[in-house]
Chain A
Amino acid sequence: EPEVTQTPSHQVTQMGQEVILRCVPISNHLYFYWYRQILGQKVEFLVSFYNNEISEKSEIFDDQFSVERPDGSNFTLKIRSTKLEDSAMYFCASSAPGTSGRDEQFFGPGTRLTVL
Chain B
Amino acid sequence: KNEVEQSPQNLTAQEGEFITINCSYSVGISALHWLQQHPGGGIVSLFMLSSGKKKHGRLIATINIQEKHSSLHITASHPRDSAVYICAAFPYPIQGAQKLVFGQGTRLTINP
Q: State the A residues within 8 Å of B (CB).
A: 31-33, 35, 37, 41-45, 48-50, 55-56, 58, 89, 91, 95, 97, 100-107, 109-110, 112
Interface of A (DSSP majority class): strand
With A31-B96, A50-B97, A105-B33: A42-B41 Cβ-Cβ less than 8 Å: no
A14-B106 Cα distance, complex, nearest whole Å: 33
Q: Which of B40, B45, B94 contacts A105 (CB 8 A)?
A: B45
B30 / chain A contacts, CB cutoff of 8 Å: 100-102
A68-B97 Cα distance, complex, nearest whole Å: 15
| Interface of chain B residues 1 through 23 with chain A (CB within 8 A) | 2
Q: Are B104 and A42 in contact (CB under 8 A)?
A: yes
- Nearest B residue to A107, CB-CB: B43
- Nearest A residue to B50, CB-CB: A102
- Nearest B residue to A37, CB-CB: B41
Q: Are A43 and B102 in contact (CB under 8 A)?
A: yes
A104-B47 Cα distance, complex, nearest whole Å: 8
Most chain A CB within a 10 A radius of its CB, from B33, B41, B94: B41
CB distance from B78 to the nearest CB of A (A): 23
Interface: B25 (CB within 8 A): no
With A33-B97, A43-B88, A101-B96: A109-B41 Cβ-Cβ less than 8 Å: yes
B86 / chain A contacts, CB cutoff of 8 Å: 42-43
CB distance from B36 to the nearest CB of A (A): 10
Interface: B66 (CB within 8 A): no
Q: Are A102 and B99 in contact (CB under 8 A)?
A: no
Q: Are A101 and B95 in contact (CB under 8 A)?
A: yes
7 additional A-B pairs beyond A97-B96, A107-B42, beta carbons within 8 Å, are: A31-B96, A42-B103, A55-B95, A95-B97, A102-B94, A104-B48, A112-B41
* Per-residue A-contact encoding for B47-88, CB less than 8 Å = 1, 0 else: 010100000000000000000000000000000000000101
